[in-house]
Amino acid sequence: AQRVTQPEKLLSVFKGAPVELKCNYSYSGSPELFWYVQYSRQRLQLLLRHISRESIKGFTADLNKGETSFHLKKPFAQEEDSAMYYCALSGYNQGGKLIFGQGTELSVKP
């Protein structure tokens, strides 16, 4: 069965501290993994995808097939990073259909 698990509902850190938002997945095949972010009162937007292997707003995520994980990391959190973060999975040739994790609310305190 396809599943995305984000074990933390809320993650609270201080500004400048490292951040790691956890994401594990279950999929029988080669999925594509995404991180979406939703800032307060804004629409859901793509943060990054594993095939791009790029850093956006200081965030990175590496796909670990052995551990079936796609954790999101940032070395130094900023207050403007406070938002809801969703990990999502899309199967190959599924036309973009996304399976979302439960979401993690990141709160960065000054």
Query: What does the binding site for another protein look like in residue numbers (CB under 8 A)?
Result: 32, 34, 36, 43-46, 49, 86, 90, 92-103
Which CB sits closer to another protein, 63 or 101? 101
Q: Give the residue with the Cβ less far from another protein, 17 or 57.
A: 57
Cα angle: 35, vertex 84, 38; to 5 degrees = 75
Nearer to another protein, 49 or 74 (CB): 49
Could you please report the per-residue DSSP string of 42-90? S--EEEEETTT---BTTBEE--BTTTTB--EEESS--GGG-EEEEEEEE
Rounded least distance, CB 60 to another protein, Å = 17
Residue pair 84/105 in contact by the 8 Å Cβ criterion = yes
Shortest Å, Cβ 12 to another protein: 16
Neighbours of 100 (CB within 10 A): 14
CA distance 46 to 85: 10
In the complex, minimum distance from the CB of residue 64 to another protein, in angstroms, rounded to a whole number: 20
Rounded to a whole number of angstroms, the minimum distance from the CB of residue 92 to another protein is: 7
Q: Which is nearer to another protein, 28 or 93 (CB)?
A: 93
